[in-house]
Amino acid sequence: MSVKRWLLLIGLLGMLGQGALLLAQPDVDCAMIAPPGVDASYFIGQGNAFFAQNDFTQAIAAYTCALETNPDFAPAYVNRGFAFAAQRADPEALADYNRALELDEALVSAYNNRGVLYTNQGNFGLAIADFTVAIALDPDNAAAYNNRGIVHAAERNYDLAMADINEAIAIDPDFAAPHASLGALYIALALESYAMYQAIEGERALLPGGEPDLILGGLQGALETGNFAVWLPLLTPDR
């Protein structure tokens, strides 16, 4: 797989869960989707089930019913905000995250999800601030470390990104996301290193071992077969 295709894949991974660009519809008739007398948790469960099916409009409806049942239930605002974000309804998502934090200023999921929203908008300073608060409140939150690392990487602060992503892996080695993030970070570092090589050697210089795409393909094959030959062109003897 080429470097460009790897980067495209990482971009697509970042879009997972965003859903289609639909109009948010928060006005619902709760009596149509549940029997009378149910509590907020019933609607939360419904909303989560709809969300898992990528039916974000119905998820929003269910979370809205939860809030009609219990207007001060902060986690319901976080869930509805995430569903709004999946529809790219950013103002509604931000309003819900903000309301959740007004109700519970220590709600880690609200900081983390608002940080994701800010990141998607390119508001990196606000995103880092939210992820940092999430980490302060929950030092073992691997997702917050991974997310902050992604923002550092987007700003090309690769040392900070590496530290955060490695911390996420150390906290939860079975959490898949930071492993993908680390791979993307190494690709970014590789491209930066090859650019430096070309800057030193000149545009006509042949890259040792081939173009980055060939190196990546060769390394993938070497990992599968144990053949170390892909490394040999990178050796630099004295001359």
**Ranges of each domain in the chain:** 209-238
- For the segment 128-161, what is each residue's pLDDT rounded down to a tens digit? 999 999 999 999 999 999 999 999 999 999 999 9
Residue 191: strand, helix, or coil? helix
- Going by pLDDT thresholds of 50, 70 and 90, the confidence category of residue 9 is very low
> If 0-12 CB within 10 Å is exposed, 13-18 middle and 19+ buried, where does residue 129 land?
middle
- Going by pLDDT thresholds of 50, 70 and 90, the confidence category of residue 195 is confident
Q: Residue 109: name the closest of 87, 80, 71, 89 by CA.
A: 80
**Measured between alpha carbons, how far is residue 31 from residues 38, 47, 77, 194 in Å?**
10, 15, 20, 61
> Which pTM was predicted?
0.79
Return the amino acid letter for 79.
N
Element holding 124 (H helix, E strand): helix 124-137
Q: What CA–CA distance (Å, rounded) separates 92 from 100? A: 12
Looking at 20-24, 30-34, 81-85, 190-194, which range is the least confident one?
20-24
